[in-house]
A and B are shown apart, each in its own frame.
Chain A
Amino acid sequence: MKHALLLAKRNAKEILRDPLNLCFGLGFPLVLLGLLTAIQANVPKELFPLDQLTPGIAVFGLAFMSLFSATLISRDRTSALLLRLYTTPLRPLDYIIGYMLPMVPIALAQSAITLLFGLILGLAWTPNLLLCLLVTVPVGWIFIGIGLLCGSLLTDKQVGGICGALLTNLTGWFAGIWFDVELVGGFFKTVSNILPFYHGTELARAAYAGTLGSALSHLWVVLAWAAAMLALAVWAFLHQMKKN
């Protein structure tokens, strides 16, 4: 465990010292939240109510966790740092914990900052906000799992495309943050229901609204996706480790 914590500490430093990470991961969701709130303030129709938008953006921001972790792992592979570490007494579990563990507090901090920014913009404070923060944790696991999976299989350039562009777009379009998935319906609704992002958004919104009891179906979907992604990620990492 000591080895895993050493690696986790190193990985946290690598991520937090990257200005691009902070800019995109933290800054972009806040800019979006601020921008859409400003638009809302200037239109008479209720398009982006803060109680719906803020939990949604908190979920959207977590997509950047995949980019952070995938980029770090793929760079460690290409720079041969991982190869160097494979010749040390580190065990497979040390790597898994070492790469996943630092992402959990980073994801939590990002969601907390987004929710806090929502409060500054006028979101009403209720203790449910803490519950909302709590339910973003398993959503974060999905993205952390995707990050480890992509980082294990792809090059850093591919990671930029897949996690940086594709995943953030998928999350943006199919999480039901900016428009009602039910209203769009059809194929869009089907895909949204299959993917975990919409369920994450609805879960976070329900937690904030204090209606979590009625959103348990979303929670199960999120937990199932989190378990599947983490399992797949562990398999992919061990596979590339063996291949090396």
Chain B
Amino acid sequence: MNAIETKGLTKRYGDLTAVNGLDLTVRQGELFALLGVNGAGKTTTIKMLSCLTRPTDGDALLLGKSVNREPEEVKMLLAVSPQETAVAPKLSVAENLELMAGISGANKAETKRRLDALSAQFGLAEVLKRPAGKLSGGWQRRLSIAMALILEPKILFLDEPTLGLDVLARSALWDVIRSLKGNMTIILTTHYMEEAEALSDRIGVMGAGHLLRVGTADELKAATGAETLENAFIALAKEATK
């Protein structure tokens, strides 16, 4: 069974079609990057897949569960780490994680097990008791991803996870994301081409609400005759606006 399968997924806001008949398949355990210029339809696609907004047409199946018919079941399968840090600032790091674990239905013992594991994986031990709002941007992003992971999702959505981070913080976060590969399906949206190339198994390029092309970074380069992923992306994006 595929992790994600969309069939004619469409979202219209009045006269504007944000996503137009999207047919996309993401395999289980895959890290799939979604690229696109602003307004290409990435965010709307993620919103539909994570049950934040209902499709106007079409459907998406997440591990066989429909976002239209079974949104509650779908929500049990996924977690989202939004572009903004999305942490509770006055709560400590541990309390933020405990809150999310509690929401997923974990009891006290299970919460502690998950918290200990994530604390070790993300190197959060030294900041566990600090208020989340007092952490640096890089640490807040780590916490944000850990808050998504403590839900133990089968599918993880990472929306611009390294936006605004310095080189070191970005590199540290890449290591964290690499460590997750294979354990769950990850959908990554990013504006950084090198990030998509370094982390993802496959890349989908969106433009004007359509899925323009799907493939590995090398396949996209070969298809457009470009030497870099950035040039391949520019070629595809320009084609979409013609």
Which residues on A are within 8 Å of B, measured CB to CB? Answer: 2-3, 6-7, 10, 13-14, 17-18, 75, 78-81, 83-90, 244
Contact = CB atoms under 8 A, between A and B. Distances in A.
Contact of B88 (A10, A83, A87): A10
A75 B85 CA distance: 12
A14 B95 CA distance: 11
Contacts of B87: 79, 81
Interface stretch (B96-104, B170-178, B187-195, B209-217): B96-104
Given A14-B90, A88-B151, 7 more contacts: A14-B88, A83-B80, A84-B80, A84-B148, A85-B103, A87-B78, A244-B52
B83 interface: yes
Interface of B: 50-53, 72, 75-76, 78-91, 95, 99-100, 102-105, 131, 147-148, 151
Nearest to A94: B103
7 contacts: A3-B102, A6-B99, A10-B88, A14-B89, A14-B90, A79-B85, A84-B86
Contact of B86 (A6, A7, A79, A244): A79
Nearest to B157: A87
Contacts of A17: 90, 131
B75 A81 contact: no
Counting from the closest, the 7 A-B pairs by CB-CB distance are A80-B84, A80-B82, A80-B86, A17-B90, A84-B86, A87-B80, A14-B90
Contacts of B75: 87-89
A13 B90 contact: yes
A22 to B, nearest CB: 12
A79 B83 CA distance: 9
Q: Which of A6, A10, A18 has the most CB of B within 10 A?
A: A10
